[in-house]
Amino acid sequence: MKITFCCTDTKAEPWLQGLAAALPGADITVWQPGAPQADYAVVWAPPQQFIDEQPALRALFNIGAGVDALLKLRLPPFVRVVRLDDAGMAVQMAEYVCHAVIRHFREFDQYEAAMQAGQWSYRKPRLRQDFPVGVMGLGVLGERVARAVAQFDFPVLGWSRSPKQMAGVRCFSGQEGFNEFLAATRVLVNLLPLTPETQGIMNRDTLARLLPGAYVINVARGAHLVEEDLLALIDAGHVAGATLDVFLTEPLPAGHPFWGHPKITLTPHTSARTLRDESIAQIAGKIAALARGEAVAGVVDAGRGY
């Protein structure tokens, strides 16, 4: 079994050591142009040259949850693209979103500013039922986030492409349920995969449908959000603010209006980092299963984009 590793901006040696320990006997190497054909590949943002030189791959294992960049490449027609199901990212995402929701709801940013200004003051408590949290995208990460937020007694809504049912979550689906979902949401959390259908889904029209004083949390992809529309709705007072972890251009360019904006909290695409040991164990298990002719979870439907 030959496995090639082609991950941009990733230190290869720890991955090679971990995969070798999990798959004894496998020939595991870092890809170089002109390298021999491999059976499987572990990748992150590989160049088109890599894909073109490896037409016989049985599967590409992406070391992140999002596969939008990989699907933009010209892939061999029969290669399977396999994403990570979780590998420690779901609990990180739940932590991040719950922190952002609670920080906004409890107005901890306002308390922090007051204390830094030497002011000892209280704010009127707000009611959880007035802050329904809507989660867009109910995959592995979205379900974990929705369940975590519900533990704090917020009303939780979920929207997905196909119908789903979750205890304690009011679920909507499809285009027919989208506007109703938005109209019932005050805190919008985006966990959708990036596809042609979801690009720019958070725009002036959709964000304006949220309850007044809405709050936006984007932890999926920067291209889901029309940045100037968010800024316009914040200026107009319909949106109270946002917590953003992903951006159209990363790193966020100097001089971007998000920098220093008093109503926008920024983090550098760190809401859920790939945990190497968990990822290696999952990838190695799936490679072994495919080698035995077994089905594996996480195979991407290229037509849907996830």
Catalytic residue ranges: 221, 269
Contact 114, 134 (CB under 8 A): no
Q: Which 3 state secondary structure label does DSSP give 166?
A: strand
CA distance 306 to 160: 13
155 in Cβ contact with 129 (< 8 Å): yes
- The closest of 237, 282, 210 to 42, measured between CA atoms, is 282
302 in Cβ contact with 65 (< 8 Å)? no
The gap from C-alpha 147 to its chain's centroid, in whole angstroms, comes to: 16
Q: Closest Cα partner for 269 from 199, 219, 200?
A: 219
Q: What is the DSSP letter of 225?
A: B
Query: Which helix (H) or strand (E) covers residue 252, if one does?
Result: none
Query: What is the dihedral sign for C-alpha 212, 167, 101, 242?
Result: negative
Which residue type does 58 have? R
Contacts of 229 (CB under 8 A, 6+ apart): 202, 203, 204, 207
The three-state secondary structure class of 173 is: strand
